[in-house]
Amino acid sequence: MNKFDGLNQAMVEHYAPRPGRRPLLPPMSDKARIALMCRMLFKEGWNEHIAGHITFRQADGTILTNPWELAWDELTASDIMTLDSEGQIIDGEWNITPAIGLHVQLHALRPEIDVVIHNHAKWSGIWANLQRVPPVYDQTGAHCGAELPIYNEYTGTFENEKSSLSAAEALGDAKWALLANHGSLVVAKDLRQAHLRAITLEWRCKRAYEVELAGGAEPLSNEEIEKVSITDTHGFPFCWEAMARRELRLDPSILE
């Protein structure tokens, strides 16, 4: 049993009054989890062609990431690249994005952050282009708190070290951000937390856009949002597994 499976077991025992069926997911490698994460988020709107990158820092300091050439909905475990702590390829058959520097710098600046996700997601991308923070209108949009910074000094692309370092430093201790006229950024301690933050951000942005089109409404107060956002600490129980199983039913080859 690996560390992630142990977390699954602990969460089941804590939250479920009945044991239910075990395990929730088959044993899998970290590379398989990254491929699954890409597939899962693709369905959530993080799907701008071949744009976007996910990094996952392993216990030994090496970093797993998706290759540049492949779209998120076609990845399998064998496609995932391994990098050293400086972002240099040490294993894999593909190329990596020139913008990997942003991830490397975020991992270095934030030792508590093991997952960084960036893409030009559909609904959060609208608010990034508007350079506005979407209000929270429902419980699902409130899962990860109210604060959502906008980084509005984007100057082109993140392969420039000064630009990427500036963006990394501007994020501060935030859990996510909108990149003005660019896209979305999510950081987290693990894949479960990152998944919840990414899907919550898209839901929040989608609902806010729909409410505005309908004429507007009263958003939730910060106090109400904080009551709901207790799930952010560990990720919503069972959600990661449920979405992972959906992808595995569609294409079991993800694990290969």
Which of 5-19, 25-39, 242-256 has the weakest average pLDDT?
5-19
Give the pLDDT of residue 15: 57
Q: Is residue 2's pLDDT more than 60?
A: no
Look up residue 143 and give its two tokens. 């899962």
Total Cβ atoms within 10 A of residue 65: 24
Total Cβ atoms within 10 A of residue 155: 10
Nearest-angstrom CA–CA distance, 244 and 256: 15
Residues 107, 55 contacting (CB under 8 angstroms)? yes
Report residue 152's pLDDT band, with 50, 70 and 90 as the boundaries.
confident
Give the pLDDT of residue 119: 96
Pairing, β 150-151 against β 176-179: parallel
Total Cβ atoms within 10 A of residue 221: 11
Look up residue 171 and give its two tokens. 């994020």
ω into 237 cis (within 30 of 0): no
Q: What are phi and psi of 32, to 5 degrees?
A: -65, -40
| 251 Rama class: left (phi>0) / alpha (psi -120 to 50) / beta | beta
Cα torsion for 112, 123, 184, 41, to the nearest 10°?
60
Residues 6 or more apart in contact with residue 29 via CB below 8 angstroms: 77, 255
Domains and CATH numbers, the chain: 22-247 (3.40.225.10)
Give the pLDDT of residue 100: 93
Q: Where are the alpha helices (DSSP H) in the chain?
A: 3-15, 30-43, 100-109, 122-130, 161-171, 191-213, 222-228, 239-250
CA distances from 195 to 40, 191, 192 (A): 9, 6, 5
* pLDDT, tens digit (0-9, with 9 covering 90-100), for 79-103: 999 999 999 999 999 999 998 988 9
Give the pLDDT of residue 43: 96
Look up residue 74 and give its two tokens. 């076609």
Nearest-angstrom CA–CA distance, 30 and 184: 24
Give the pLDDT of residue 17: 57
Mean pLDDT over 154-158 rounds to: 50
